[in-house]
Structure 1
Amino acid sequence: MLGPYTRTPHQLAEDYDLQQKIDLEIKMREGTTKLLAACKHPVQSLEASKSLLTSNERMNAYIAELQQRKASEKNGNFKNCCANVEASKARVSVSEIRIPLIWKDTDHFKNKGDYRRFAVFCLLKIGTEIYDTALMNYVDRSMTDVSFDDIVVFHHVPSDFKLKLEVYSKVIQDDLSIASTPRKIKKKISSSVSRTFGRKLAASLKDEFSENGPKFDLIAEATLTLDDANDCVRTHDLVIDSENRQSSLPLFGHFCCRLAVNPDCINEERISNYLRVSEKSDHHSPKEWPVYWASLKNFKLYLWKKRLADMMETKMQTPDIIIPINKNTTVKAIKPSVFNITSNDNKTYSLFVLNEHDLQLWTDHIKQHIEDYVSWKSAAENVMEIPSPTPSRTNMILRQRVPGSLYDETPLNGSTLKGSLKH
């Protein structure tokens, strides 16, 4: 039996994965800091500063996750990693982001008055997953909105997710000498990680606290949930930071985007096997019922009279029976190897498992499928398309760089950090 302070193998694997992310982020920060110091052009400095800010936010998220795990460990609140059936996660995509601007008439139509230009980008966050959009430079009074072509896709997202969108801007000026890294991260380190790993993490931050570079201000934010998901572009409220209202980009207080959600259980099979099926009251022995190949996914139980050879054949051949699984569906074991499914039209199907030990497995999966249908709401009823995510801009830059460029002249620390989390 595990003690109150003993980590399970699953938790150890999660900790190791998080440590790998922190190690990678430290290397990225070191390289970006050197790049920022070598930048000679404002656009380069802005891009490097944006990368540092994004890295800071990721580090904040990782440290917060470590603190939460440490608190859960201390209080004995562990996730049930041994449950037979887990709730379905989902992919969540954000695309077609557009932020309207509200200039004065003289600014936009007469091209007079406000002469400022801005650099703008957004951060998108769900838990420890944080993505940044492209940096839009030279946003001025001639533009009625700021549009981003980025497509961001989050994976393994629970149904109670909260997606945060943060808008950052910087007034483009000749003098770009403002510190780029918040100091509050340093204070969180000692309580979240081991001393050895904490010293390495703090050392990576030390140099960056003293570096100068452009400073982006958080000027607005929004929080979206499953209720905001839709297959079309919709308008959402944007909460504007009152402290930066006077000197920041003139926002309208709303933004548009397409938030699509696609539960994994729509495309991924949850369970499959042979079952004997009776569509009506049958006085014959269950062992005499016809055999079907059963597959549970997409909130339906598909039944074929013979097992199909491959997935292509499965897609081409119509199932002999389709039992809908939704909030009105009920499932109940009635005999050691038999369970009933009653659909929303009050039609009852009796199903016989060939192996008695599979009865609990089938009923658990179907009950969880019903719960998933309820949890995912409209995303379970209407399938939303998840577009392909935008390729990583970092990888594109590295592939396209020419010999002798600033990237080649900036050394990266290739040493591997081997700090370990405190167990």
Structure 2
Amino acid sequence: MLPGDGLGLSPTSSRANVGLSQISLPLAWKPKETRTFSMFLVIQSKTRVIDTKIISHVDKNMTDVIIPDSFVFDNEPEDFNVDILIYAARTDYGLENNTGGSLKSRITRSIGRKFGSSVKSQVSTPEMLKSPRLDQTISGAHYNLLAKATLSIADACEEATIHNLRMSAFADLSGPPLYGHIICRLAIQPHSVLRPILEGVLSVQHVEEGVELENTAARLQAGNLHFYSIGDIANSSKNTVLIIPLSSRSRIVPTPSARTFLLRTDESKEVPASSVYIVTNSDRDYEIWRRAIEIQIYDIGIWGRFATKISSLLTQKREDPIRETLSRGTGSNLYETISIKGKCLACSTELVSGLCAWWKKSASGSSHHPTQGYLIDQRHASSGYFNG
């Protein structure tokens, strides 16, 4: 991150607020499933940890577990990560009052010591040990970590999208059957969009447009250098006289003239080419404006499209996630929208949309049809049949 250099610029100019919303977990129940679970999520960044409310009575009547809450992480750096950890406990047959310990400890006691140690080593990986709520007892129920997703700036989008989960050992025993994906919306609001990086008075000469302005009020914000009528900066939408869009390909070029630099932008898909001479009223203003524009260019390079427009961190109305999970209207499923590569070891054919050619050919006569909850025939259902 570029420092402020003691010139009065905000030290958090290249930081952002991050919003997480529209969270849902598609489930893959088997036809004869009878178990019931409770679930909650832990969502954490480098600066904050949040627990969601516990969702009870998760059974085969639920095609998705939907988290109705939205979450905001303030003042995150450009290398932020948001970890989503999924916990569950079995709550049918009175297991919520079972005092026999967690899944890990129950397995360790019930089988041989050697294999039990192996199980504990698989469950207690360094990554899992860092989790804030591994093997927790809440209201008598023993919650175990099922899976984890890690989101970064590359996952930010205006709409909810599908992200991979990293499953923990024995996730299928301690929680509802997950498809291995989570759906959510990750949005970003850079600080340079929410408030100006710098405001002041400048003189400007726009070469391409043939515009010259002297001692004009200026504001640098959201990827644009705005010029306004003197004294009307508070009413920028009505009194804008010139807007200079910047991009990650903009650069500052020194000139021989005192207190003057050239702001040059190469043409891109979003921004036209421009050459603009900026004249400040003092040497100190020269350094401050030069530094501020460098920070703005840097922000655009880091935050991309989020650095040039205001995006809502949290959506008011949640779209139906089933369109991307089980597609109730069309009868398709999540895996038909995801590319899965590999071979089926049972019949040595390539997988297409998560299914092998053998199963596709015989599915019509199989008793395990996808609409009943199976993606593949029972003799292909074991993970041991797949070679990615």
TM-score (norm 2): 0.63
Distance 1:156 1:388 in 2: 20
1:324 correspondence with 2:250: no
2:29 and 2:176 in contact (8 A); partners too: no
1:178 and 1:212 in contact (8 A); partners too: no
Partner SS for 1:362: helix
TM-score (norm 1): 0.58
1:142 correspondence with 2:68: no
Partner SS for 1:230: coil
Instruction: Give the aligned residue type for 2:313.
Output: I
Counterpart among 41, 60, 85 of residue 166 in structure 1: 85
Structure 1 pair 162–318 and aligned structure 2 pair: CA distance change class (3 A): same
Partner SS for 1:376: helix
Between stretches 170-179 and 80-89, larger displacement belongs to 80-89
Distance 1:379 1:276 in 2: 29
Q: CA deviation at 1:308?
A: 1.2
Q: CA deviation at 1:242?
A: 2.1
Partner SS for 1:245: helix
Q: CA deviation at 1:258?
A: 1.0
Partner of residue 214, structure 1: 141
Q: CA deviation at 1:279?
A: 2.3
Structure 1 pair 266–309 and aligned structure 2 pair: CA distance change class (3 A): closer
Instruction: Give the aligned residue type for 2:217.
Output: W
Distance 2:199 2:52 in 1: 41
1:271 correspondence with 2:198: yes
Bigger share in helix: 1
Q: CA deviation at 1:383?
A: 4.2
Partner of residue 103, structure 1: 29
Partner of residue 177, structure 1: 99
Partner of residue 184, structure 2: 257
Structure 1 pair 349–82 and aligned structure 2 pair: CA distance change class (3 A): closer
Q: CA deviation at 1:276?
A: 1.5
Counterpart among 372, 379, 397 of residue 306 in structure 2: 379
Partner SS for 2:173: coil
> 1:120-151 deviations in whole A, cap 9, x for unaligned?
01111111311122210010111111001111
> 1:10-34 deviations in whole A, cap 9, x for unaligned?
xxxxxxxxxxxxxxxxxxxxxxxxx
Between stretches 298-307 and 240-249, larger displacement belongs to 240-249
2:96 and 2:140 in contact (8 A); partners too: no
Partner of residue 336, structure 1: 258
1:89 correspondence with 2:15: yes
1:336 and 1:359 in contact (8 A); partners too: no
1:303 correspondence with 2:222: no
Question: Whose relative contact order is higher, 1 or 2, with alpha carbons under 8 Å and at least 6 apart?
Answer: 1
Partner of residue 117, structure 1: 36
User: Where do 1:380-395 residues align within 5 Å?
Assistant: 380=307, 383-387=310-314
User: Where do 1:10-29 residues align within 5 Å?
Assistant: none
Residue identity over aligned pairs, in percent, reads 25
Q: CA deviation at 1:212?
A: 8.8
Bigger share in strand: 2
1:132 correspondence with 2:58: no
Distance 2:204 2:198 in 1: 16
Counterpart among 152, 157, 170 of residue 243 in structure 1: 170
2:44 and 2:50 in contact (8 A); partners too: yes
Structure 1 pair 275–244 and aligned structure 2 pair: CA distance change class (3 A): same
CA RMSD after TM alignment: 2.8
Distance 2:72 2:24 in 1: 17
Partner SS for 2:307: helix
Distance 1:160 1:254 in 2: 23
Q: How many residues align?
A: 268
Q: CA deviation at 1:166?
A: 0.5
Q: Mind listing any 5+ residue stretches in structure 1 that lack a counterpart?
A: 1-78, 108-113, 181-208, 282-287, 390-423
Q: CA deviation at 1:252?
A: 0.8
Distance 1:251 1:265 in 2: 39
Distance 1:380 1:309 in 2: 21
1:332 and 1:363 in contact (8 A); partners too: no
Instruction: Give the aligned residue type for 2:150.
Output: T
Q: Mind listing any 5+ residue stretches in structure 2 that lack a counterpart?
A: 103-135, 267-271, 317-388
